């Protein structure tokens, strides 16, 4: 009887995991589309790389300011209701961005889309971590990262299909957010309670508990958002067409798709911390190779591996978070991850754009390589402290 009950419960758990991952993957389509789309539009308007990077930073500011509110929102309104509301608001704000087509109005609107998409993403990630069996957390989170990467890859690919002008690309993102809410509504009753009222750990109180993990999130976020926002600009310095740069972004994210499950399995055999360190070193090597290979066919291989290991830094950090924390600490930790993702996004794209203004195209690989080197040194220093 117990065995029958177990067999009956397990498919329900996997159904819930599948539903949440589907929700986040559709969310990722809209996010993966919006960054290069808005950069292309601003570039056609003659906006400088520094301003394009500053505009892109508005979304991470929304992440930062909304992150400390997520645990309280989940407790007050329920995690499911909060996430569903945020999906609807995300579609509305993206529609307003498409309607305005104005650099300065986009600043507050891109802030708002960060603020309303953030709880949806954080709560979904917490659900996946809570549902993943500890012995299989590496592969489950690898699958999770893979599916999210597929969503991000579909975003730039949508631009190849519908172009970067007019309403079509915005409509793809709007419908993606609405479909995201529909996926979540189907499984919301099966999801574990993450809005517990027990021992409360605040976002700020969590930070000293895992500072290196949070630093890794800053680097992963800054790298990803810097590349999504400014690799199209980098390509124009070499006379590379928008369509080719969109394809390069898609190949880079395809590296995530191919490698997150193997990286997760490797983390189960070794440790997430060791695999993360390896990912940082290979990402740094990719920064060195980018200017050498950008005009050669080998660039496709380079960005494939580059994308795989750069996002692997975040995947390994999430796995370690799930291994070390649970309950309210896990909720606060994931919200802290989101806050640090915002910090990386707000600091790195404008910094990279400013360096590109100062020294030209080389500013992109130089800046991204420098932040990877800083994380590698911090990892070595922490190991010596232990």
How far is residue 18's CA from residue 128's CA, in Å, rounded to a whole number? 9
Domain ranges for the chain, please list them: 2-385
Alpha carbon distance 140, 133 (integer Å): 8
Give the global pTM.
0.77
Query: Rounded distance, CA 33 to CA 228, Å?
Result: 10
Fold of the 2-385 domain: Growth Hormone; Chain: A; (1.20.1250)
Structure tokens at 193: 């309670």
User: What are the pLDDT tens digits along the chain (386 aa)?
Assistant: 333 333 444 444 777 787 787 777 777 887 777 877 888 888 888 878 778 878 877 887 887 888 888 888 887 888 888 888 998 898 899 899 888 877 788 899 999 988 988 888 888 888 888 888 877 788 888 888 888 777 777 777 788 778 777 788 888 888 888 888 888 888 777 777 765 555 677 778 888 888 899 999 999 988 988 887 788 888 888 877 777 887 888 788 788 788 888 998 898 888 888 999 999 999 999 898 888 888 788 989 988 998 889 989 998 998 888 888 877 778 788 888 888 887 887 788 888 888 888 888 888 889 999 999 999 998 888 777 65
Return the exposure string of 23-51: e unless at least 16 CB atoms fall within 10 Å of the residue's CB, then b: bbbbbbbbbbbbbbbbbbbbbeeebebbb
Contact between 309 and 26 under an 8 Å Cβ cutoff? The reply is: no
């Amino acid at each position: 009887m117990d065995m029958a009950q177990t067999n009956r419960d397990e498919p329900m758990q996997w159904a819930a995991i599948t539903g949440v991952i589907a929700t986040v993957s559709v969310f990722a389509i809209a996010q993966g589309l919006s960054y290069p789309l808005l950069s292309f539009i601003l570039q056609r308007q003659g906006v400088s790389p520094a301003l394009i990077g500053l505009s892109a930073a508005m979304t991470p500011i929304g992440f930062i300011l909304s992150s400390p509110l997520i645990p309280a929102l989940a407790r007050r309104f329920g995690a499911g209701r909060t996430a569903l509301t945020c999906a609807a608001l995300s579609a509305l704000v993206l529609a307003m961005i498409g309607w305005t087509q104005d650099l300065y109005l986009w600043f507050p609107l891109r802030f708002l889309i960060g603020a309303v998409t953030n709880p949806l993403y954080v709560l979904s990630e917490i659900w996946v971590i809570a549902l993943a069996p500890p012995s299989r957390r590496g592969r489950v989170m690898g699958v999770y990262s893979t599916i999210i990467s597929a969503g991000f890859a579909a975003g730039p690919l949508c631009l190849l299909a519908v172009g970067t002008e007019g309403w079509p690309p915005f409509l793809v993102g709007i419908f993606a957010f609405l479909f995201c809410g529909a996926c979540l509504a189907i499984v919301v009753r099966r999801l574990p309670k993450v809005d517990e009222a027990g021992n409360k750990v605040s976002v700020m109180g969590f930070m000293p508990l895992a500072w290196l993990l949070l630093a890794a999130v800053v680097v992963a976020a800054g790298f990803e958002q810097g590349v999504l926002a400014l690799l199209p600009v980098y390509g124009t310095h070499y006379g590379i067409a928008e369509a080719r740069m969109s394809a390069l972004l898609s190949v880079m994210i395809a590296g995530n798709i191919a490698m997150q499950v193997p990286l997760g399995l490797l983390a189960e055999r070794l440790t997430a911390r060791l695999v993360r360190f390896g990912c940082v070193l290979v990402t740094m090597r990719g920064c060195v190779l980018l200017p050498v290979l950008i005009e050669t066919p080998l660039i496709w291989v380079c960005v494939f591996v580059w994308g795989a290991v750069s996002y692997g830094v975040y995947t390994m950090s999430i796995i370690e978070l799930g291994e070390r924390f649970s309950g309210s600490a896990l909720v606060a930790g994931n919200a802290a991850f989101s806050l640090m993702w915002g910090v990386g996004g707000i600091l790195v794209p404008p910094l990279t754009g400013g360096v590109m203004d100062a020294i030209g195209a080389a500013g992109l690989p130089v800046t991204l390589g420098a932040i990877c080197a800083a994380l590698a040194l911090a990892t070595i220093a922490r190991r010596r402290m232990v």
